[in-house]
Structure 1
Amino acid sequence: MDEALLRSLTPTVIGILGRRGADFATAEDAVQEALIEALRVWPNDPPRDPKGWLVAVAWRKFLDVVRADSSRRRREVLVDSEPATEPAGAVDDTLQLYFLCAHPSLTSSSAVALTLRAVGGLTTRQIAQAYLVPEATMAQRISRAKRTVSDVRLDQPGDAGTVLRVLYLIFNEGYSGDVDLSAEAIRLTRQLAASTPHEEVRGLLALMLLHHARRPARTRADGSLVTLSDQDRSLWDTRLISEGVDVLQGALARGRLGEYQAQAAIAALHADAQTVQETDWVQIVEWYDELLAINDNPITRLNRAVAVGEADGPRAGLAALAGLDPSLPRYPAAAAYLHEKDGDRVAAARLYAEAADAATSLSERDHLTRQAARLNQARHS
């Protein structure tokens, strides 16, 4: 059974039910039930028209809810007028559904969950497993999100920037449970790119593809982290890199630079280098300057400082780092790296240990702890 096809049809079917008069929350629930039914039935009895099958089953599920709800008796006219098929050339509501599920009134976690369910077609159980929370907790989160957007009309203008932030949050979760959220985010971003010519959608897609291409080289067999400079570049997915560069070039050709395009350009320069020594750090610094002109924030300045340390030497990097708040995430790790490049192993070991204490993941903590131990051992050998 083609589960990717099944999930890709989800926003379209929700849109069809909405145009037939279903409210978003009930339509989304009905489509979820239809998806679960499809997972049960399709392996042994695949339909000739998957979309038509989902529409028919979801509509019946919706009607069952309407008929059972005494407060909606007045909608029996709608119940008795079930259309058999969708008219030709029906409007695709996918783009508006992205906007709805990433509505600014939602918290980030709620927007992510609702997007994965209503646009991505994942079940509540799959989403709960991916985020390592009980299914009941995730169900409550999704229900609250749907209540929050219950009065938002599907035809209202949406905020593309919010949608892209939600998709990037999903991408950065990576893999957990039986759902590869990075791959799912790429699929959803491809789907969004097909619905809108927005250049930043393509910028984000390029960024995801370029980062995803390096995924096979990011960890060792034991799960330990491998930094970019130490990665086996023969493991990088050249097909994804080529696609990412092509998508990025198409976006940049529009002449409206955005932050995702600038980040993707930096990722492309890393991907273009056959060895770490061939990395064009001068151009990377220039792209960080472009990124700062779009969105000046401390994390970008921190990353720029590391790039300056590679382009102009560690002392120049430390000087660029000096004006930033030491409590920033990754500040001690960046400072440790630059101090080590400058030959100050004592300060570097201390900062690596400090960075390990502040690390938010086990793999990152282990990597930084090993860096500190390596420098301390070298001092005493």
Structure 2
Amino acid sequence: MRASVSDTVLIIGAGVAGMTAAVELADSGIRSVLVERASSMGGNALDLYKAFPTDDCFYCFEGNRWRPGIRKCFYRSAMVDQPNIEIKMGAEVKEIAGGPGDFKVRIAVSPTYVDPRKCTLCGLCSERSKAFHLLSPQCQPQAVTYDSSMADDGTRKAEEDCPTKAIKLDAQPSEETIGASDIVIATGYHEMKPIDMQEYGYGRIPNVITQLELAQMLDPNGKSGGVLLRPSDGAGVKQVMMVQCVGSRDEEHHPYCSKVCCVFALKHANIIATERQHSRVSVVYMDIRTYDRHERYYRESRDAGVEFIRGRVTRVEPRKDGAVNVTVYDSLLDKYLRSSVDLL
């Protein structure tokens, strides 16, 4: 990177990767502008409950390579209080001109209906109108957001009664052009949803979900308050089956191993087995690939009573009572196993 301490680096995306880049640059004395089109930083991490390998809140991370062992929160210490980081929420890059060392970037900024510098999270606006809500207790900036599609009779009343005058419903969008010596693209990822893999029933059977959807369900701050409930009828979950390598190591989809799915699944298996003792968990796998220090998840899962089945799911059928019948070919026993589960 050719940037000097006086140059500005533009970072597109304020997920974990973008925030990490901003913090590392700031620690090196380099100013950065962090652009995020959502109203809160965090990206996909907002939907995750606990992070491997430490099982901490996803927004806390170990100190950088110069300060090993020190933990800091992205939001309160590393991001918000850092003078070398300028954050633009609700913003989107529209055009990039120029070249390395002298980029000109046109940015469109959505209306800021609630000023995060003035919002005190008093909750008064949320009482007046459903259009105001807090995305997450861990969201940053720490301020309520306004959803114009949910505006109702109490919306204007909320603006009038706001004690700090943080709400401006007449706010307008704007555009600006900034200069940058370098650009970091950290636009994140999209979860693969196996809609086109009909054999698993995703999108057709309500109680077939993805690991990211399970993470949202396990989160105490989520809609279900951390209680495992079947999406189909809200009934409690007694049996969970996790299927690995869906769409990966498969020539018809993705021929490679993602390297994270096993650890992601075992993290959730541990949480269910140890924190939701009324639910049993089984994992169907081709090979368990838990690299380096992540091996502990495998050991802890087995010790917690998680059942491991080496093989492939061959059939998934919904039952009238909401459960899901699953047929698995167990390659170690060389026979088919049939189970009834609440969540697949």
* TM-score, normalised with respect to structure 2: 0.27
Higher relative contact order (CA 8 A, sep 6+): 2
Normalized per residue, which structure has more strand? 2
Which has the larger Rg? Answer: 1
TM-score (norm 1): 0.25
User: Greater share of helix residues, 1 or 2?
Assistant: 1
